[in-house]
Structure 1
Amino acid sequence: MVTVRATPDCGNAPRKEVLRDFVIAMAEADGETLAGMVGEGVEWHLVGEAVLRGRAAVRVWAAGLPVAREITFGAVITHGREAGVDGTTEAADGRRYAFCHVLRFAGAARTAKIAEIRSYVLPGGEAEQM
C-alpha cells in the first residue's frame, strides 16, 4: 500500500478528490481505476515520452507502472473544466520523482471524465514540499 502525504482541505472542491484518486491510482499501477476515470477518446501526453490515445492504451500503460512506496502532494488546483496537481513520489527502490499533471475534463459536471492530460515527471523530486 502506498503512503499518502497530503494537507487536508475544506472539501468544497469535489474534483480535488478526483485528482488525488488519479495520482494514487498511478502510484498503485491501477490501470483499471485510471481507465475508469478517463473518457474513451482521452489523449494523455507524457511529455518527452509518448502520447496515449484512448482508454485501452491508458489501461495497458498504467498496469505496467512500478508501484510507488510514497506520494507527497503539493498543490491540488481545480477551476471549471481544468485542474492540476503536483508533488513527489518515491518508488519502491528509493528513487524519487517530481510530477505535475494538468488535466482537462470533458465537462463541468462532477461526473465528467478526463478528456486530456499533460504529465511532466522528473527524476530527483525534493523530499519536502513547500
Structure 2
Amino acid sequence: MTKITSNPDCGNSPKMEFLKKFNIAFATGDIEFMIDSVSDDIVWEIIGDRKIEGKEKFTQYLEEIKSIETDELVIDHILSHGKEEGAASGIMKTKGGKKYAFADFYTFSGAKGATIKSFTSYVIEL
C-alpha cells in the first residue's frame, strides 16, 4: 500500500482537490482515473525525456510504467491559478528504493471542468 502525505490544505478549491487526486492516482496506478481526467488531445511533456500527445499514447505510456510501484508520495505544494492553470510538486519514492522530486504544471480545458488539456513534468532523481 502506498503511503500518501499531502501537506497542502485544498480548502474549498475543487481544482486543487482534483490535482491532489490526480497525483495520488499516478502514485497508486489508478490508470482509469487518469485517463478519465485528460482531454482526447492531451499533451504531456516530461522535460528531458519525452512528449506524449493524444489520449491513446497517454494510455500506452501509463501501461508501460505501471510496473513501477510507488512506496510513498509526499505532495508538498498544490496551486491553482485562475480558471485554467494549476501546479503540484513533491517527492515520490518507489518500492525499488529510488526517490524523485517532481513539479507538474497543468492547463485545464475549461474553468468548470476538471479535464487536463496539457501538463509539463520536471522530474529529478534524488
Normalised by the length of structure 1, the TM-score is 0.88
Normalised by the length of structure 2, the TM-score is 0.91
1:65-123: per-residue Cα shift (whole Å, max 9, x none)? Answer: 212010011110002210000000000011110001100001111x2410010001110
- Give unmatched runs, 5+ long, in structure 1: 125-130
Say whether 1:123 aligns with 2:100.
Answer: no
Tell me the C-alpha RMSD between the 2 structures. 1.3
* Matched pairs, number: 123
* 1: CA distance, partners of 2:12 / 2:5: 20
Percent identity at matched positions?
28
Q: Offset at 1:10?
A: 5.3
Aligned residue number for residue 30 of structure 2: 30
Determine helix, strand or coil for the equivalent of 2:9.
coil
- Give unmatched runs, 5+ long, in structure 2: none
* 2: CA distance, partners of 1:114 / 1:27: 17
Say whether 1:13 aligns with 2:13.
Answer: yes
Q: Offset at 1:8?
A: 5.3
